Structure 1
Amino acid sequence: MYISHETREQTENRLIEVLKSSKLRVYETPYYFKETSVDDFYFDPKALAMVKDDEVWSYLIPVESTQTENFKIFSFHFKGGLDNSGFVGWLASKIKEELGSGLFVVCGQNSNKGGIFDYWGCPIEIADHVLHFINKLMNESL
């Protein structure tokens, strides 16, 4: 984790560069959160993420029903050696300001692909707008 002191403009420029150099992957299949009791844990190889609290395991898996809250999933793998600290809050805030929607983010670690990676989820209804906005940011000149 990097610790730096920078102006707001420096942070903006750094994170735009992080975004531009990242590998964006968009998942075609919608996903949802399936919940089970903590006592009923099982490994689901289809899950992108499995997270628990005191009561449930929450599995981020491909949609099984249209009656659940479904999400479009996309992920970022970051280029190694870049300071990506603050990226999640920065991009989530930009999307919220532009489109009015919140998102969720689940992070993981893959040392072979530059370290931290993020799975992002947004409501299916605004997915095209979110991805268009991200592509616009990736193509902006500084």
Structure 2
Amino acid sequence: MDISPETPEQTRGRLLRVMAHARVDVLPGDHTFAEFPVAQFPAHLASSLAGSALALVRDQEVWSALLPAPTSTSAQDRYAVVCVHFAPDIPNSGFVGWLASELKQQLGTGVFVVCGQNSADGGIFDYWGIPRSVADQAIAIMHAMQAQGASA
């Protein structure tokens, strides 16, 4: 992780550069969370989630799986998911907080982020969950930031 002092302007410029060099893929369809008790792992995973879960996280009581949303999923539980793969040579420290703040300021929405590691594809990647009701606007903002960073 990169640690270096920056002014807010320097941080914004660096993170726009991160966006310009990131691969931003919008996953098809909507996604939602399914929960199951910790005691049911891995049986529940093998029987109903294998191959479809994007992420699995847990606390002391439940596993939470991020998966494609069934048609019966309510509107407030549906999320667009955007996968961001970072360029390995550009420090992306602070990216999650920065982009989440930008989306909150511009759209009034919160987001969720699940991070992963793929050493063969740049290293860290993020899944961004965006409420379906504002997903198109959020994705447009992300693409505009990519263009802005590329022209800076």
Q: Could you give the per-residue CA deviations for residues 74-114 of structure 1, whole angstroms, max 9, x where no partner exists? A: 01000111100000000000010000000000000111111
- Normalized per residue, the structure richer in helix is 2
Q: Partner of 2:66: helix, strand, or coil?
A: strand
Gaps of 5+ in 1: none
For residue 118 of structure 1, the aligned residue among 126, 133, 139 is 126
Partner residue of 2:74?
A: 67
Q: Partner of 1:139: helix, strand, or coil?
A: helix
Mapped to 2, the partners of 1:130 and 1:26 lie a distance apart of 11
Q: Relative CO higher for 1 or 2, CA cutoff 8 Å, sep ≥ 6?
A: 2
Structure-to-structure mapping, 1:30-109, within 5 angstroms: 30-42=30-42, 43=45, 44-64=50-70, 65-67=72-74, 69-109=77-117
Provide TM-score, normalisation by structure 1.
Answer: 0.96
Of 65-74 and 45-54, more deviation after overlay is shown by 65-74
Gaps of 5+ in 2: none
Mapped to 1, the partners of 2:73 and 2:51 lie a distance apart of 21
After superposing on structure 2, the runs of 4+ consecutive aligned residues of structure 1 that deviate more than 4 Å are none
Mapped to 2, the partners of 1:33 and 1:22 lie a distance apart of 26
Provide TM-score, normalisation by structure 2.
Answer: 0.90
Number of equivalent positions: 142
Q: Aligned residues: percent identity?
A: 46
